[in-house]
Structure 1
Amino acid sequence: MAWDQIEPFLVAVAIGLLLGLERERSHSRKLPAGSRSFALLSLVGAVAAGFGQWAVAIGLAGTSALMVAAYVGSSDDDPGTTTAVAAVTAYMLGALAYTRPDVAVALAVIVAGLLVSKTRIHRFAREIVSEVELEDAIKFLAVAFVILPLLPDRALGPYGVLNPAKVWLLVVLLTGIGWVGYIGVRALGPERGLLITGLAGGFVSATATTASMSRLSRTAVGVRAPLASALLANLATFVQLLLVIGLVDRDILRRLWLPVIASAVVLIGVAAFVYWGARRAQPDHTEGDDAAPPPASRPFTLRPALILAAVLTFTLLVGRWGGEVFGPQGTVAAAFAAGLADAHAGSVAAASLAAAGDISVETALIAIGAALGSNLVVKTVLAFTAGGRRFGTRFIAAMAAPAVVFAIALSAVILK
């Protein structure tokens, strides 16, 4: 017998043993099905798949009936339905192993992971996730998997700048990044304090986070910890920029990633130096860890993403019009103006115009630099306004090195 003929059955047995052993080790009482039963059920599934789909369906009905009978007669106490459901799953994975053993093994590992993580999942559902977060999760899934597939994926409006599917995909991406930041704060806990708050808040709005940290620097927390948090918020701007640019035009991403990564590395070094100085200066203080707020009042923040999408669409329109009337200088000016509200709006608009062939890649890179520059000006003004001269001076000094590195690297890429 050839190996490819016996492999599906061996995989099926291995899958059954994996799930069965997990079930036996996680329960002290007698179960309706043990490791041997699981292995046999998976093997039966593989054999049934060899006869055809009709045999798999009959076997599934028989397995389900057998598990129901075992569940009812196993104990007067409720033994739980997880083992019965896992047994049916083992049968189906055994059937899948007959045609797709690689997929069956991957799914078996996932199922085993879910079974092993029982305590963590229950604690997460009962103690960590709130009703508000569950409600927002449903909203996010609706935005990503219900609304997005319904939108047309074609150019509409003046100059063809409005593509509903692509604009909404940007909304999904931004809200998803906000989710990542929020979960990071919840998972790592408040003891990480201002650093986690700054990085996570930067994915929602780096400008707003910079203003918040500037105001916080006037309190007893001091200057260094809020300053490090504001710097990490600007690091989130660089990370988010690469993500959204990669979504729009990979050719620009290939030219842009080196300047962004170089400036981001410098920014990380500066933030680490600032925060290390804060901890050394205040070894007995937690830098506001116990009072650090999450990056947003709710994990799902649709309004900022919608505002950014609207700004992006308007910037695309202005950029297309400016490029047609004034040439490349019009696009750069539009990106600079958009950067006063959000760095990504002008950047994505320029990348979209380059992807459509309306401007050159070099012009798009200059426009991206202009958008980031104007946005840094706005953050600096907020740092001085909300945090005073002491915070503002240190903020602009800390951002000077990353900004210079970005400008030099971007110039080298453009002139190459």
Structure 2
Amino acid sequence: METSDGLASAWAALASALGCGLLMGIERERSKGSGPHRALAGVRSFALTALAGATAALLAMPALLGVGALFVAILGVTAYAKDRSGDPGVTTEIALFFVYVIGAMCTQDRLLAAALAVVATGLLAARERLHRFANTWLQPGEVRDGLILGALILIVAPLMPDRPLWGEVLNPQLLVRLLVVLLLIQSFAHLGRRLLQARQALALSALASGFVSSTATIANLGLELRAGRGTLRAQAGGAVLSCVATMLQMLAVAATIQPAWLPQLAAPALASALVAGVYGGWLAHTGLPQAAGKPAQLPADTAMFRLRDALLIALLLTAVQAGVYGLGLWLGDAGMMTGALLAALADIHSVIAALLAHGAPGTPAAPMVERTLMAAMLVHALSKSGMALASGGKGYGWAVAAGVLAHTLVFVLGLWLL
């Protein structure tokens, strides 16, 4: 019985290796060309290489497995050295060595081996699209910002200590995670601006700016309206759409600071964002001229995100969180509420971070956190409305205030009822 099971397992590994080799080999056969300058290997070579890797692994002879890998590597180096096509590449040589490894892997984990074969085949088949994406579509600023974001995620974040430096606040890794979240949000908004038409450019730009500061966005759009740029409805629509970012960023901050709050905040925040999005989108759409339907063009070196602004916001979130925590230690719940309401006059994101870090749902602090958050949202809505009135005039102020107060009340009522 044991022999029968072992034989069935061996045949399954060989069949899986053959399938992986044929999958990658068929793609290479279609692109290897013909004549004296054709590429190194095609469907038969890939299938045999995968079978060779599986066979060497099944024989459980490490020396034979190593010799086979060395042979495939020497074969690739020889083919590259003899290439006379004028445009040598090493893709096929690397793929041939990789299919040998996949063949050997089929004896240990057939599912993983098959998944790797599919991914490798997809990369091989997408050659033209990937080249076009890297050389034509991708802009210099996006490459630069992508490297910065990758360094933050892969190098800086893992090196940061994951422990609070004071009580329950000032966690260095949490600060880096907040920064990464802000940069990712700005990056997705930038990509959206590139993919959408100019008719949506104002709305999406306002939404992206709202992730930095909705209050500042409302003020800037109001000042532009006073200067004669844009229409009242379009500017007011963009201002209200920036409030969508406030609610989405609330969920992002909650997921980073205190994920336990997400189930309780998700429905009110999304309903509030929907109200702001519908009202702001309607204003922006009806206020834009018909000519705005042409494709949007961004400068070639447009950055995906503003690192300095995002870093300042992350530091502000952390500083206000520490300040509210300190007031809570000094004056108790009254101190926490006072600090949160004062901070809400300028920025709500920092207040959210500070409050959610104060206690999770089900803890003794949770009721005070909810009440303070609702009060802070109302104070912040009044602050935004006053800013709209001061920066853009009466018409702009009333149009913005209607949307800001409506979406805030939806959130407050939703959180209160839940």
TM range (shorter): 0.7 to 0.9
Q: Deviations over 1:350-373 (max 9, x none)?
A: 111114998612222233333433
Q: 1:167 to 1:330 in 2, by over 3 A?
A: same
Matched position secondary structure for 1:286: helix
When the two structures are superposed, what TM-score results if normalisation uses the length of structure 1?
0.87
Cα distance, 1:27 vs structure 2: 4.7
Q: 1:45 to 1:269 in 2, by over 3 A?
A: same
Among 112, 116, 128, the residue aligned to 2:121: 112
Matched ranges for 1:208-227 at <5 A: 208-218=216-226, 219=228, 221-227=230-236
Gap regions ≥5 residues in structure 2: none
Q: Deviations over 1:72-121 (max 9, x none)?
A: 33544334221222222222222222212222222222222222222222
Cα distance, 1:185 vs structure 2: 2.2
Which residue is equivalent to 1:322? 327
Which residue is equivalent to 1:94? 103
CA contact (8 A) 1:344 1:371 kept: no
Q: 1:57 to 1:198 in 2, by over 3 A?
A: farther
Among 370, 384, 387, the residue aligned to 1:365: 370
Cα distance, 1:304 vs structure 2: 2.3
Larger Rg: 2
Moved more, 15-24 or 298-307: 298-307
Matched position secondary structure for 2:263: helix
Q: Distance in 2 between matches of 1:189 and 1:62?
A: 54
CA contact (8 A) 2:261 2:361 kept: no
Matched position secondary structure for 1:178: helix
CA contact (8 A) 1:311 1:338 kept: no
Q: Distance in 2 between matches of 1:410 and 1:240?
A: 17
Among 44, 52, 57, the residue aligned to 1:44: 52
Cα distance, 1:395 vs structure 2: 1.0
Among 200, 205, 215, the residue aligned to 2:213: 205
Which residue is equivalent to 1:168? 176
Among 267, 270, 275, the residue aligned to 2:279: 270
Cα distance, 1:291 vs structure 2: 7.0
Q: Distance in 2 between matches of 1:77 and 1:186?
A: 36
When the two structures are superposed, what TM-score results if normalisation uses the length of structure 2?
0.87
Q: 1:277 to 1:190 in 2, by over 3 A?
A: closer
Q: 1:278 to 1:97 in 2, by over 3 A?
A: farther
Cα distance, 1:258 vs structure 2: 1.6
Which residue is equivalent to 2:89? 80
Q: Distance in 2 between matches of 1:142 and 1:169?
A: 13
CA contact (8 A) 1:181 1:201 kept: no
The alignment status of 1:410 with 2:397, answered yes or no, reads: no
Which residue is equivalent to 1:60? 69
Matched ranges for 1:211-360 at <5 A: 211-218=219-226, 219=228, 221-278=230-287, 282=289, 284-286=290-292, 290=296, 298-355=303-360, 360=365
Q: 1:27 to 1:230 in 2, by over 3 A?
A: farther
CA contact (8 A) 1:194 1:292 kept: no
**AA in 1 matched with 2:407:** P
CA RMSD after TM alignment: 2.9
Percent of matched pairs sharing the same residue: 32
Gap regions ≥5 residues in structure 1: none
Cα distance, 1:151 vs structure 2: 1.7
Q: 1:336 to 1:318 in 2, by over 3 A?
A: same
Cα distance, 1:410 vs structure 2: 1.3
CA contact (8 A) 1:177 1:204 kept: no
Among 145, 161, 165, the residue aligned to 1:152: 161
Moved more, 50-59 or 176-185: 50-59
Q: Distance in 2 between matches of 1:167 and 1:226?
A: 33
Moved more, 328-337 or 208-217: 208-217
Cα distance, 1:33 vs structure 2: 0.5
Q: Deviations over 1:133-168 (max 9, x none)?
A: 3232222222222222222222213x4522212222
Matched ranges for 1:17-36 at <5 A: 17-29=22-34, 30-36=38-44
Q: 1:19 to 1:205 in 2, by over 3 A?
A: farther
Q: 1:224 to 1:114 in 2, by over 3 A?
A: farther
Q: How many residues align?
A: 408
Q: 1:62 to 1:213 in 2, by over 3 A?
A: farther
